[in-house]
Amino acid sequence: MEFEFWWLLGIPVFFGLGWIAARVDINQLLSESRTLPRGYFKGLNFLLNEQPDKAIDAFIEIVKLDPETVELHFALGNLFRRRGETERAIRVHQNLLARPDLPAEHHGHALYELGQDYLKAGLLDRAEESFNRLIDTQYSAQAGRALLEIYQREKEWERAISAAEILQATGAGGRQREIAQFYCELAADELVRTNTEAAMALLEKALAADRKSVRATMLMGDALRAQGDIEGALETWRRVEHQSVPHTALVAQRLMDGYVAVGRVQEGINLLRAYLAEAPSIDLLEVVFKAVLEVDGVDAANLLVSDELRRTPTLLALDKFLEARMMNAPQTARSELSVVKTLVHGYTQKLARYQCSHCGFKARQFYWQCPGCSRWETYPPRRTEELNVMN
């Protein structure tokens, strides 16, 4: 292919066309930027410099001058809500909803944001009303999750079950564990009222939703015990080991009391010692220690604690070890051991906590629902120090 000199004439032509296109884009950008209020850029600058108070003031001025700025209303409402100024956030979103010219897509968004404002403010009835209006819209899944949260806060477990089942059916994630927990909550209320038959029916539904629900199994055993069926209760409580061996620590005292009631104490001790060998736990050790002390005496209890301390060297185990040593120590040694135990015990009180694996909230007692983040089954059945040693 031969080179033609006239092709060189095309270079300045293409250069000129590119220059013209760039000028058009720049002019368009400048034109659009001039239509934005100066306060908009001031607000953005304040946000970038982490000065939310000044940013809010700047945005408020824009909204006053130009009430048509819908997206800015949303941004302003979210800023108010995050700062805890829920009344101002509610007013912003109510003003949006009051506009007759608000497009449908913005109307749903504003209604959802208003529901979140009410939820943050603790106005659950108004929040529920807002979210119910969003069912069968593009915000249906978000509204369903918010309604589920409301029903849990209000402890309306039947409505929570219905909301969770709807979410699950629409493909918004599995809710089997939560549904089982809601049935357990209803069953626990029935047990308090001594309605054992109703409780057992609810627990069957809980186990149908989640066959691995330890709580449902434990409550089922409680219902059988309340009916006087100790053997049935023992058989039920023993199912926990097939669901989760570490959770046997939570049912250990129930099992021991049951075996004492039917006169098979040694069988109960042997069972719990087997659990302890498979899943070390200070709570389980406490139950076994008391039973061995009563049945086999101080020396056997001492040996049990010594072996456990060697296997799982924790301060919690050391505290129990010192308690055992004090029982048959001479009077002079006992006073010295008492001082050491007091110091160790004081420190172990800070370690003897359960900790949520999601938010880190610590508590003395075991919770099925975390008081901090409201999530279900986030507490491992071991104390924090034991978990640290295992890790």
Q: Which one-letter amino acid corresponds to residue 164?
A: A
356 labeled part of a ligand binding site = yes
Q: Which residue has the tokens 């700047």?
A: 58
The two structure tokens encoding residue 61: 């001025």
SS3 content of the chain, % helix, strand, coil (to 5): 75, 0, 25
Strand partners, 354: 363
Write phi, then psi, for 254 (nearest 5 degrees): -60, -45
| Exposure b/e, 146-159, CB count within 10 A at least 16 = b | bbbbbbbeeeebeb
Evaluate whether 102 touches 110 at the Cβ level (below 8 Å). yes
Strand partners, 363: 354
3-state SS class at 378: coil
Strand partners, 369: 376
The two structure tokens encoding residue 351: 């370690």
Closest CA to 96 of 82, 126, 125, 117: 117
3-state SS class at 140: helix
The H-or-E segment that residue 365 falls in is: none
Q: How far is CA 94 from CA 91, 112, 129, 180, in A?
A: 5, 11, 14, 38
Closest CA to 170 of 136, 122, 196: 136
373 labeled part of a ligand binding site = yes
Q: How far is CA 235 from CA 51, 222, 230, 263, 347, in A?
A: 62, 11, 9, 15, 38
Q: Give the span between the Cα atoms of 119 and 363, in whole angstroms.
A: 26
Q: Which one-letter amino acid corresponds to residue 71?
A: E
Q: Which residues are annotated as a binding site for Fe cation?
A: 356, 359, 370, 373
